[in-house]
Amino acid sequence: MPHENIVRIAAVCGSLREGSYTRMALIIALKGAEAPFSETDLIDLREFNLPFGDGKSNKNPSPDVQRFRERIRSAEGVIIGTPEYHSSFSGVLKNALDLTGFAEWEGKMIGLVGVSGGRMGAHNGLNSLRDIGRALHAWVIPEQASIPEAYKHFDSAGNLTDHVLERRLHEVGTQVARFAFLHKCAAAHDFLADWQKAQPNPGA
């Protein structure tokens, strides 16, 4: 397959906790994104020293901010993972997103993954992330994965013991990769170009 059609799928882990269930879930979702036409990248916020977003960091970004932005910018699809805290997504993830903008997100395919310690899952946090994706002009896929009572479903090696949840995570990764590939591939671009140049239908 031509190199220009390879898509890069990144996952952003919005948790700093040691032994993070969010990170475990994203690793599984990235496995679903693995294919002959894709490359994957796990972006762990623990690896970055990101300042608090105060507006100044956007004008004079630190090396870590630049590195984080570049990792996002170079991906065609991004899976965002978060624990649900107080009925929303994590503060560290919000800060990281505040340090980015349209240049990093516009036109990208986004998948959402959330974990929680409670029975209700992470739907409130994921719905908020869906709004942010739309605000940044990204394409947020319909599929998402929410894992309630995450401590019950992961073993010590980071594997999910619930195969339904595992399939759900795989599907998020698979769909992000598929849509990112279709969005990028030359054949799709040629079709859209021809469609835009087509004459109006006189019977419309």
SS3 per-residue string spanning 129-155: HHHHHHHCCCEEEEEEEEECCHHHCEC
pLDDT of residue 9: 98
Q: What are the structural domains of the chain? A: 3-197 (3.40.50.360)
SS3 121: coil
Q: What per-residue confidence (pLDDT) applies to 1?
A: 38
Cβ within 8 Å of residue 65, ≥6 positions away: 48, 50, 51, 57, 99
| Model pTM score | 0.88
pLDDT digits (tens, 9 = 90+) for 93-140: 999 999 999 999 999 999 999 999 999 989 999 999 999 999 999 999
Q: How would residue 190 be classed by pLDDT, with cut points 50, 70 and 90?
A: low
What is d(CA 70, CA 65) in angstroms, rounded to the nearest whole number? 9
CA 203 to chain centre: 42
Say which residue, 30 or 201, is predicted with more confidence. Answer: 30
pLDDT in tens, 64-100: 999 999 999 999 999 999 999 999 999 999 999 999 9
Percentage of the chain exceeding pLDDT 90: 76
* Strand positions, DSSP E, the chain: 7-13, 38-44, 77-85, 88-89, 109-115, 139-147
Per-residue confidence (pLDDT) for residue 81, from 0 to 100: 98
pLDDT surpasses 60 at 144 = yes
